[in-house]
Amino acid sequence: MNQKTDHLENLRKLARSPKSYLVGSADSKQPDLPGRDRRAVLHRAQSGRYRLTDQRHVAVVGGGIAGLAAATVLAERGASVTLVEANDYLGGRVAAWPLDDDRTMSRGFHAFFRQYYNLRSLLKRIDPELNRLVGVEDYPLQRPDGMRDSFTSLPKTPPWSILSF
């Protein structure tokens, strides 16, 4: 057996098991699987509250999508939040800058597709109608050899969209 088949067999063992391995569940236990860190300790998580009952000040490190999402949820639940970011812009790995030939170079997570429900929900908190999102006709990808891949001919409706690949 190789590493991939070992991993698949371990997943099959988990699927056949009658016990839950969810951390914090009433009958949680450590799964006896090869490669598991046996020194790990499971701690039950306390139930969360929608609103904080006392004043809290929380520092969130990083102004990328995850940091912005965490800061938003904490503020909505009543915490005073300080967001700490090393750069002079927010977005983390999401960035774009102009090139000398009037093109734009983009890096990171810079396209917001319809199926990104959690991200759309976060953006709706500041723009309920998502008017600031600008739709594009195509999302071309250019390969290093100069060839371009286009998405215009793909169906836009699931599951046909994924089946077309």
At 119 the pLDDT is 83
User: Does residue 74 belong to any structural domain of this protein?
Assistant: yes
Q: Which two tokens stand for residue 1?
A: 């057996």
Nearest to 40 by CA among 56, 28, 52: 28
The separation between CA 107 and the C-alpha centre of its own chain, rounded to angstroms, equals: 16
Who has greater pLDDT, 90 or 133?
A: 90
Average pLDDT estimate for 103-127: 79
At 5 the pLDDT is 64
User: Does residue 162 belong to any structural domain of this protein?
Assistant: no
What CATH number should be reported for the domain holding residue 117? 3.40.50.720
Average pLDDT estimate for 12-19: 56
Average pLDDT estimate for 80-90: 93
User: Does residue 59 belong to any structural domain of this protein?
Assistant: yes
Nearest to 86 by CA among 63, 117, 116: 63
CA angle 11, 15, 16 (to 5 degrees): 120
Classify residue 132 by its DSSP letter: T
Q: Which two tokens stand for residue 138?
A: 């195509």
Among the listed ranges 43-52, 76-85, 88-97, which one has the minimum average pLDDT value? 43-52
User: Does residue 7 belong to any structural domain of this protein?
Assistant: no
User: Does residue 27 belong to any structural domain of this protein?
Assistant: no
User: Does residue 144 belong to any structural domain of this protein?
Assistant: no
The whole domain housing 103 covers 54-132
The number of folded domains in the chain is: 1
At 60 the pLDDT is 96
User: Does residue 89 belong to any structural domain of this protein?
Assistant: yes
User: Does residue 40 belong to any structural domain of this protein?
Assistant: no
Give the confidence band of 22 by pLDDT, cuts at 50, 70, 90. very low
In the predicted model, is pLDDT for residue 133 greater than 70? Answer: yes
